[in-house]
Structure 1
């Protein structure tokens, strides 16, 4: 997806510095600093393209960008900022020597999160840690915050863990098969939100889909791609293509993963052995809400008397252009009321691993988003990305708000199976 050196001058020149991007840029909204806006960063990119070295200050402004792509949606000139920031991040990673502590943190993050088996090994100790309520003690002491704000953020963001059901390799359609789809289980989604994957498979089956869940699948490469680790992203992409080549449609329930898989065609365009295979997979990838709307409803929707606020994940709304489909699915549930969140285009602060690498800025954005969610008066927040769910849930807890968080798939699952509001919300006695 990143720009080639030949394309770079034109892509940089597309920006006319009009400022339409400013109100949608999270860091500009927080700080009002020109160099922490998209046009300011493009100015720095231009300086670097003309020969200026990557200074510590320059890299700091690039690192502060969430890569949320709200500016791409807002831009009237069609500036491809997403390609520019990915190109720049790849250059930063190859050219800029980071301090040892920061380098070690980044390597630890990318040695853990893109590997589901490593995350699974972490589940047991983390679950014991939570059940012993050591998390409350650690947060009261503030010890971890003093050792490392990034580690403290990682600890705070971890969702409450229960048993993790494992899905079979195939889930049969109910009531006659309409389609056969492959399902990406993801990394964080698979190990920390297994209920979302189970709900996704059930919803697809109830709507008449045979669901194929390849055992050979692993990380799709989203975190690596959006962090400038292009070679690593390409390797993950090739493995994902191999895992899903036998299915006609790949359904994804995590916004960042779907966005990356739809970018495979651009990511592997320069690789003769993989370019056509990547293009074919990108064309067959659908977000869950996108696919269900294309397929059309068949299963009966049962009443679900809940008031929900729907959160637009950046990599769903801006990167994939999927906005109306989740709302249409929610609107089709009898008794359910959808309320809109103020400033929906401003990121919640999750942005892949941004909330681990930039915990202070991410915390401010999370608090801002949580305040807007509370302002809706909704009982339930619906989000379609695991990072967003963790980020906003953490901010809501910090503010003492009693608002549950669920994925679109879980809400649909509760309606299709007639489970009622109790499946999503625990009412106070």
Structure 2
């Protein structure tokens, strides 16, 4: 694709990156076949190819409009199109650049500004989010259904192991997960403890930066990322083996720190090292597959539907590891018919675009239920909460299933 960037972005880092990405696109349209919003709406401008054209026009100087903003807002950033694209177009990075430019050009209505500011200021701050979630859980039965969907029942996380081990790994607690599903990281700590690895945390680390960054507050998102790098660095220097991610949405962002800070003289080297150490939990536990299989095979008689998050299968390009591990320890794992498609959660998307988010959720659940599972498991807190809001079938993180089995096997 030929480009002629406007002066306002030409010769900038963002402009050079966008130009390189645009030039890879050959207009083939393979991406539209796997785009969830295009499948729902059937509008070229609500598919990756159409959005690429819109971004190209804006970067070449055509004024953005509210219509431009709407079509970009509807994108889930699921990056399914990246898995499909034969030319290797890095659509996710391009849409981050394009959205920010459009955001700067097109003022949003007051109602949108209020909601978006509440999300990007409230969600990343645990000291704000935790009491708000706690209050919501206390009065959950009295809340309207739309709010109940965002407030999971209060969860008991159980004990965090205190055993010291020579092998140590660091885990990101995150921003919303400790309040919404504290058992995920606690279960991870217990599983790793049983395998001779100590999982450690640092309270100074917080949001991975994805919430603000993907809501076009790039400076705010980068500040959250710098905070994590500063919090983790002493532990990195002390020799932790890995930084474990139990939420794939956080993992895909932290793995990108090296790229995002490549031109930051103070943080470039540290960010690169952080990204190199970052591993999704599904990349860690397969190394212990034989040990887990010996402990658990024959003790798990569950039929499980696994929903692979987009941030895992498309963002991080990790496929098959969760299913492989669970099958090795005796779980009957099923993938549904549209396992490559987004469930509609997509971070804050289910709040900002509820109509499409719930339609995608219901489509996903219909296919998951068709596998006749005893439970549904995933690998991202957003997917779990979104899916659970539409079904009575239990939805949890896959590591919680492993943790329960280990507890029963003792």
> Partner of 2:9 in structure 1?
none
> Partner of 1:319 in structure 2?
315
- Are 1:62 and 2:83 counterparts? no
> Partner of 2:277 in structure 1?
284
Counterparts in 2 of 1:104-253, with a 5 A limit? 104-130=114-140, 133-135=141-143, 138-139=144-145, 152=146, 154-163=147-156, 167=160, 171-172=162-163, 177=165, 179-245=167-233, 246-247=235-236, 248=240, 249-253=242-246
* Residue 51 (structure 1) shift: 1.2
Tell whether the 8 Å contact from 1:3 to 1:84 is kept in structure 2 after alignment: no
Per-residue CA shift, 1:299-320, capped at 9, x if unaligned? Answer: 4225110000110101011111
Of stretches 277-286 and 218-227 in structure 1, the one that deviates more from structure 2 is 218-227
Counterparts in 2 of 1:279-428, with a 5 A limit? 279-294=272-287, 296-299=289-292, 300-301=295-296, 303-334=299-330, 336-396=331-391, 402-418=392-408
* Residue 166 (structure 1) shift: 7.9
Distance change (3 Å), C-alpha of 1:6 and 1:209: same
Per-residue CA shift, 1:275-313, capped at 9, x if unaligned? Answer: 000000000000011111245543422511000011010
**SS of aligned partner of 1:107:** helix
Task: For 2:98 and 2:111, locate their aligned partners in 1 and report how far apart those are by CA, in whole Å.
Answer: 22
Distance change (3 Å), C-alpha of 1:200 and 1:45: same
Tell whether the 8 Å contact from 2:304 to 2:374 is kept in structure 1 after alignment: yes
- Are 1:15 and 2:18 counterparts? no
Task: For 1:257 and 1:171, locate their aligned partners in 2 and report how far apart those are by CA, in whole Å.
Answer: 25
RMSD of aligned Cα (Å): 1.9
TM-score, normalising length: structure 2: 0.91
Tell whether the 8 Å contact from 1:258 to 1:285 is kept in structure 2 after alignment: yes
* Residue 12 (structure 1) shift: 1.1
**SS of aligned partner of 1:28:** helix
- Structure 2 alignment gaps of length 5 or more: 1-11
Residue from 257, 278, 292 that aligns with 1:264: 257
- Structure 1 alignment gaps of length 5 or more: 140-151, 397-401, 421-429
Tell whether the 8 Å contact from 2:137 to 2:151 is kept in structure 1 after alignment: no
Task: For 1:217 and 1:90, locate their aligned partners in 2 and report how far apart those are by CA, in whole Å.
Answer: 26
* Residue 85 (structure 1) shift: 0.6
Tell whether the 8 Å contact from 1:301 to 1:332 is kept in structure 2 after alignment: no
Task: For 2:169 and 2:289, locate their aligned partners in 1 and report how far apart those are by CA, in whole Å.
Answer: 15
Distance change (3 Å), C-alpha of 1:3 and 1:383: farther
Distance change (3 Å), C-alpha of 1:163 and 1:308: closer
* Residue 226 (structure 1) shift: 2.3
Kindly tell me the number of residue pairs found equivalent between the two proteins.
391
